[in-house]
């Protein structure tokens, strides 16, 4: 269900648990077989100490939250800027929260400026960033 | 996927990777949706398209040995809905290559077009390589 577009409005959170099976599925789907994601013995010898989720997998969860809130407006005219702060590791539970910071109107078009955070179960920031969604003024 | 592979050392600002085409088939989209735990909504998820671009780019150059690439940041802009079954062409170029102490940063610009040469998506990815 699409949300009411209003400044300060929180977006529905997305919660996802990271498993090696999900990382492997993402590697298969995306074609990104970097061993840091899929080779546990290789990853164990790196400073990261183990496999990590693809950054784009974490970002896909952000996109899921945005699509739930804004529907096709996000899919067709969304903008995103994200910083990957820490890797998401096996066993992590990621919670993605977002909110509409402000709504701007330029000509007959409205823009929802949102911020988001993706944190793990320890509260550590995994991804942070901003999004902008263009939508018609009658969608409120 | 096609195109030659070059080494990280050979990448210079302005270098353009060979464009890569992908068919965003029903099976590709289903696999992607399963991987990201999403039900989808009848269109290709924009980040599935980005995933193709990233894979095209990372498969086109070889990393220095014993180096891991870390995705540091990502910017994206979507321009249109993409129906399932469409074929896209991913273009990637090196925007900047920066060496700072023990860290190298590669900044890449991505553009994706559909078969009508209309832009579907553009973006900028920063890849960090601790050396």
* pLDDT (0 to 100) of residue A137: 64
What b/e string do you get for A83-112 counting C-beta neighbours within 10 Å, with b at 16 or more? ebbebbbbebebbbbbebeebeeeeeebbb
ipTM: 0.91
Rounded distance, CA B102 to CA A68, Å?
Answer: 41
Give the pLDDT band of residue B41 (cuts 50, 70, 90). Answer: confident
Cα A54 off chain centre by: 12
Nearest chain B residue to A24 by CA distance is B35
Pairing mode, if any, of strands B87-100 and B103-113?
A: antiparallel
Give the A window 70-109 contacts with B, CB below 8 Å: 71-72, 74-84, 87
Place of tokens 């990233």: B54
CA distance B37 to A92: 15
Candidates A134, A140, A136, A133; CA nearest to A115 is: A133
Tokens of A27: 């590697």
Radius of gyration of chain A (CA): 17
Contact B35 A84 (CB under 8 A): no
Distance from CA of B115 to the nearest CA of A (A): 17
Whether A60 and B38 lie within 8 Å, measured CB to CB: yes
**End-to-end alpha carbon distance in chain B:** 29
- How confident is the model over A70-90, as pLDDT tens digits? 999 999 999 999 999 999 999
Asked whether A29 and B31 are in contact (CB, 8 A), the reply is yes
The answer to whether B128 contacts chain A (CB < 8 Å) is no
Instruction: Give B-chain residues touching A32 at CB under 8 angstroms.
Output: 51, 54-55, 58
In terms of C-beta density within 10 A (0-12 exposed, 13-18 middle, 19 or more buried), how is residue B100 classed?
exposed
- Between B35 and B62, whose confidence is greater? B35
Question: What local confidence, expressed as pLDDT, does residue A1 receive?
Answer: 57
Name the pTM for this structure: 0.92
Any B CB within 8 A of A139 CB: no
**Strand, helix or coil for residue A70:** helix
Of residues A109, A104, A96, A105, the one with CA closest to residue A69? A96
Please give, rounded to a whole number of angstroms, the shortest distance from the CA of A87 to a CA of chain B: 9
Helix boundaries (H) for B59-102: none
Specify the 3-state DSSP secondary structure of A64.
helix
The torsion region of residue A123 among left (phi > 0), alpha (psi -120 to 50) and beta comes to left
pLDDT at B94: 95
Instruction: Kindly give the parts of chain A with pLDDT less than 50.
Output: none
What confidence tens digit (pLDDT) does each residue in B68-96 have? 888 999 999 999 999 999 999 999 999 99
pLDDT reported for residue B4: 58
* Separation CA B76–CA B54 (nearest Å): 12
* A12 close contact with B: CB closer than 8 A: no
């Amino acid at each position: 269900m699409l949300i009411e577009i209003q400044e300060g409005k929180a977006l529905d959170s997305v919660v996802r648990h990271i498993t090696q099976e999900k990382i492997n599925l993402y590697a298969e789907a995306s074609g990104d077989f970097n061993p840091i994601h899929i080779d546990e013995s290789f990853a164990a010898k790196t400073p990261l100490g183990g496999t990590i989720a693809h950054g784009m997998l974490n970002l896909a969860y952000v996109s899921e939250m945005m699509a739930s809130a804004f529907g096709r407006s996000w899919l067709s005219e969304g903008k995103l800027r994200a910083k990957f702060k820490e890797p998401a590791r096996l066993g992590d539970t990621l919670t993605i929260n977002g909110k509409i910071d402000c709504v701007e109107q330029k000509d007959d078009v409205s823009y929802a400026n949102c911020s988001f955070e993706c944190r793990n179960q320890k509260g550590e920031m995994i991804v942070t960033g901003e999004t902008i969604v263009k939508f018609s003024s009658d969608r409120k | 996927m096609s195109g030659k592979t070059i080494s990280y050392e050979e990448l210079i600002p302005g270098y353009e990777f060979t464009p890569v085409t992908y068919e965003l088939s029903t099976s590709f989209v289903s696999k992607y949706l399963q991987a990201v735990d999403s039900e989808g909504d009848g269109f290709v998820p924009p980040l599935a398209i980005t995933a193709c671009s990233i894979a095209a780019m990372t498969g086109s150059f070889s990393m220095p040995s014993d180096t891991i690439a870390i995705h540091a940041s990502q910017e994206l802009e979507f321009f249109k809905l993409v129906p399932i079954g469409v074929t896209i062409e991913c273009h990637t170029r090196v925007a900047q290559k920066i060496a700072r102490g023990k860290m190298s940063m590669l900044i890449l610009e991505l553009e994706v077009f559909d078969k009508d040469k209309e832009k579907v998506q553009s973006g900028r990815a920063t890849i960090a390589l601790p050396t």
